Amino acid sequence: MNLDPLEYSSEESLQLVTMPILLLGLETEVSEWRPFLEGIEEAVFCCSDSNEALLVLEECEKLGTPVGLVVVVGRQWTGQVGEAIERIRTKANEYSRQIFVACEEWSQAELYASVEAGVNTHFEYPWDWGLIERKTRRALSVASQATELQSQKQQAEVELMQHKQSIVHHDLWRLDLRSRSVEFSQNFRKLSGFSESEVQGNLDECLTLIHPLDLSRLSKALSGSDWRALPEELNFEFRLRHRNGGWRWVLMRGRLERDEQGDPVAISGSHTDITEAKTIDPITGLANRFQFEDWLEDNLHADGLSLAVFLVGIDRYSMIRDSLGQAVGDQLLRLASERLNSSLNGGLKQNGEWILARLNEEEFAIAMPGIEDETDGRAVAELIQGCLEKGIWLQGNELFVSTSVGFVLREDRKHADEVWRDAEIALRLARSGGGNRVVLFDHSMREDVLQQMALENDLKRAIEQWEFEIYYQPKVDLVNKRIIGFEALLRWRHPVKGVIPPNQFIPLAESTGLIIPIGIRTVREACETIRDWQEEFPQRQPLEVSVNLSVRQFQDRHLIEDIRKILDETRIIPSTLQFEVTESVLVSDPEQALEIVKELRRIGVGLKIDDFGTGYSSLSYLHRLPFDTLKIDRSFITTMGDDHAAFEIVRAIILLAGSLGLQVVAEGIETQIQADELRSLGCGFGQGYLFAPPLTKEAARRMLEAQTVRSEG
């Protein structure tokens, strides 16, 4: 039985939207309802009484993922069911959130009573699951649209309030250019806190109230003698010292006044108090960088005050925002700020006031008085990490985020820029190597970071001038010992420092994102080279080339498009281009890795798991990810002759690969005994110094030439 007037034109018109469903079972089982609803929306919360249901509604609102639909199941319409509906509807007060009620049977009076209580749709036994599914999807879609409209409405109200405040806070002033005197209205006295007797209106006296960082720009415009050089209109933002010692942000607008001869005689205009707009982060409501810097500078003037500054970065925030959208990214920042504020308020007993601010896209700053040593500082850092590592529900997605924390103790530092510099160095080191670390600054780090910065600048120049050279290490068939392909390995020839090993510049390229332009050009050059060799040295199975792909490259949304373009332009057979990825790529974000790997397979390129068996376990992904080759890490190959455990691991990997229909390549083969042992175990291919080290392009070509001569002879 259905009182909902909505008509359904087609299944395609019903949009599935991710919003949780609240399933309330009153004096009846919901075992058949829960799996049915989970097939429509993964997040289904089951309750057995109205108190529990109200708690779920409240918690979902706090987490930024409001319940989109309430489904109540009971044997019949009773006073208990009616009371539960009224409580839920009163709490929600939101008719875009629909309520379904399913009872075994209904009377006409019960239907009228339920409508008065706020029920949108009714079902009776036997359940029409197809109808229920369509209505459920429609209700979730309506709720999602209403939630989005409500968010837009709130944003518009905030902007309107800010506009009204800016109008209220307008204040007039006039500067006489000949007498260098300034006239203010009474509102300006309130803004600065100074009376007429304290600041009488002399221009030079007024300039002493401007923040030192803003003063040079403003005084250059207003304190010169050649007023004819002034622009017709002035717009300037600066910080004005209040009588209580704090700072107010002011937007100054002015226009020149001229006499009959056209010479400037005065500037008149308005002041607007923009302190809130300039010092409050609009997304989280926290202090922003300006307010944090002012707070820090003021407190560093207090001699003997122990203080620590913590910089907190949300790891992989950009990937979360790009994958789930800017709205989800903003909601994550809001929830993170709430958790930080709550945890620091409830978990610490600090000396004096502290401040929490959002600095930029995904970084927060905390200045905490009363922190005297590393032990105290690490306790705060662990509290910060702990409050953010718990799961966060955002629009139906449960996110687990990690954070990197760099902190610095005040010690003998007197100025904010010194604290900033060292805290940023600590955060940079905490984020290196994947993040999720806590790092306390020490003075040795400064030199290390300066060296890293110099190396980063050199790396950028190296990309522009392409100081890189690709070496090629042969991959050999262990049965007939013929070269079947090469692995492309990058070397950097620095014009001053000589050859820089990959383990020194590849991690830096990863952390800075420079690996993306380096990697794609490496792929292009390797494809051009293998195309030339395929034409010069034709064989039944064309030569192939392998190139490494890193975690950072997997996050590049242009990766697939760039590879397609290279294949089209070089015209090589796609399957002769092989990409090698480490297990860390697979476990860092399995779902994203699965999508990218599938797309690469659609292109037709080959895929290898590199360094298999080290550091992580990808066994749970092997049956899902369409790889064609496993590469056994050299650490097992070099010890398999002396270490029985290493031998058994190698044997197990080869058996596993065989059962999954995958090829096996052993890397790091240095002796003929190792090659013979691997061949006997069923390993088909290998590479290592037994066959050849990484070779220059010309040296690798000569090996192919020699192989061709032997074959013809």
* Token pair of 194 as six digits: 């100074």
Looking up residue 308, the CATH number of its domain turns out to be 3.30.70.270
For 669-696, the pLDDT digits (tens) are 999 999 999 999 999 999 999 999 999 9
264 within domain boundaries? yes
The domain boundary, picked from 161, 182, 217, lies at: 161
Q: Output the pLDDT for position 433.
A: 64
pLDDT band at 458 (very low <50, low <70, confident <90, very high): very high
447 within domain boundaries? no
Q: Output the pLDDT for position 346.
A: 57
For 42-55, the pLDDT digits (tens) are 888 888 888 888 88
The domain boundary, picked from 243, 273, 303, lies at: 273
Q: Output the pLDDT for position 257.
A: 85
pLDDT average, residue stretch 601-627:
72
Query: What's the mean per-residue pLDDT of the chain?
Result: 82
Residue 365, Cβ neighbours under 10 Å: how many? 25
Query: Residue 96: which residues within 8 A CB-CB, separation 6 or more?
Result: 142, 143, 145, 146, 147
Q: Output the pLDDT for position 16.
A: 38
Q: Output the pLDDT for position 351.
A: 43
For 67-124, the pLDDT digits (tens) are 888 999 988 888 888 888 888 877 654 545 789 999 888 888 888 888 888 888 889 8
Residue 331 CA: distances (Å) to CA of 43, 63, 369, 402, 403: 18, 9, 29, 16, 17
pLDDT average, residue stretch 302-321:
84
Q: Output the pLDDT for position 564.
A: 95
445 within domain boundaries? no
Looking up residue 200, the CATH number of its domain turns out to be 3.30.450.20
Q: Output the pLDDT for position 220.
A: 64
Q: First and final CA of the chain: distance in angstroms? A: 87
20 HSE (CA, 13 A, CB side)? 25
pLDDT average, residue stretch 636-645:
88
Tell me which residue range forms the domain holding 209. Answer: 170-273
- Number of domains observed in the structure of the chain: 4
Q: Output the pLDDT for position 488.
A: 96
Q: Output the pLDDT for position 491.
A: 94
Contact between 624 and 594 under an 8 Å Cβ cutoff? The reply is yes
Asked if 229 and 347 sit in the same domain, the reply is no
Asked if 472 and 589 sit in the same domain, the reply is yes
Q: Output the pLDDT for position 705.
A: 93
Asked if 262 and 311 sit in the same domain, the reply is no
Q: Output the pLDDT for position 5.
A: 32
* Token pair of 46 as six digits: 């089951």
pLDDT average, residue stretch 395-416:
82
Best-predicted range by mean pLDDT (27-31, 162-166, 520-524): 520-524
446 within domain boundaries? no
> Which phi and psi angles does 538 have, rounded to 5°?
-70, 145
Q: Output the pLDDT for position 320.
A: 78
262: left (phi over 0), alpha (psi -120 to 50) or beta: left
Best-predicted range by mean pLDDT (51-60, 238-247, 560-569, 597-606): 560-569
Asked if 157 and 182 sit in the same domain, the reply is no
Which range is least confidently modeled, 173-177, 333-337, 472-476, 697-701?
173-177
Residue type at 620? S
444 within domain boundaries? no
pLDDT band at 614 (very low <50, low <70, confident <90, very high): low
Whether 194 shows a pLDDT value over 90: the answer reads no
Q: Output the pLDDT for position 291.
A: 85
Looking up residue 114, the CATH number of its domain turns out to be 3.40.50.2300
The domain boundary, picked from 131, 161, 191, lies at: 161
Q: Output the pLDDT for position 26.
A: 80
Rg of the chain, C-alpha, whole Å? 34
Residue 109 CA: distances (Å) to CA of 88, 116, 124, 459: 21, 11, 15, 78
Asked if 200 and 262 sit in the same domain, the reply is yes
pLDDT band at 516 (very low <50, low <70, confident <90, very high): very high
Asked if 559 and 677 sit in the same domain, the reply is yes
| Torsion angle defined by CA atoms of residues 611, 617, 622 and 625, in that order, rounded to the nearest 10 degrees | -80
Which range is least confidently modeled, 92-96, 264-268, 511-515?
92-96
Q: Output the pLDDT for position 694.
A: 95
Whether 59 shows a pLDDT value over 80: the answer reads no
- DSSP run (H or E) holding 632: strand 629-632
pLDDT average, residue stretch 584-609:
80
Asked if 287 and 267 sit in the same domain, the reply is no
Whether 713 shows a pLDDT value over 70: the answer reads no
Contact between 367 and 354 under an 8 Å Cβ cutoff? The reply is yes
Asked if 679 and 549 sit in the same domain, the reply is yes
Q: Which residues of 626-657 are buried (b: 16+ CB within 10 A; e: fewer)?
A: ebbbbbbbbebbbebeeeeebbebbbebbebb
Report which of residues 219 and 181 the model is more confident about: 181
pLDDT average, residue stretch 606-610:
88
Distance (Å, rounded) from C-alpha 514 to C-alpha 461?
Answer: 11
In the beta sheet, which residues pair with residue 463? none
**Hey, is 182 helix, strand or coil?**
strand
Which range is least confidently modeled, 280-284, 402-406, 468-472, 514-518?
280-284
How far is residue 393 CA from its own chain's centroid? 16
Asked if 631 and 554 sit in the same domain, the reply is yes
pLDDT band at 613 (very low <50, low <70, confident <90, very high): low
pLDDT average, residue stretch 199-223:
75
Q: Is the pTM of this model over 0.85?
A: no
Q: Output the pLDDT for position 701.
A: 95
Asked if 410 and 554 sit in the same domain, the reply is no
707 within domain boundaries? no
What is the percent of the chain with per-residue pLDDT over 90, rounded to a whole number?
Answer: 27
Asked if 182 and 43 sit in the same domain, the reply is no
Asked if 461 and 543 sit in the same domain, the reply is yes
Report which of residues 583 and 390 the model is more confident about: 390
What is the percent of the chain with per-residue pLDDT over 70, rounded to a whole number?
Answer: 87
Looking up residue 484, the CATH number of its domain turns out to be 3.20.20.450
191 within domain boundaries? yes
Residue type at 191? L
**Hey, is 398 helix, strand or coil?**
strand
391 within domain boundaries? yes
pLDDT band at 60 (very low <50, low <70, confident <90, very high): confident
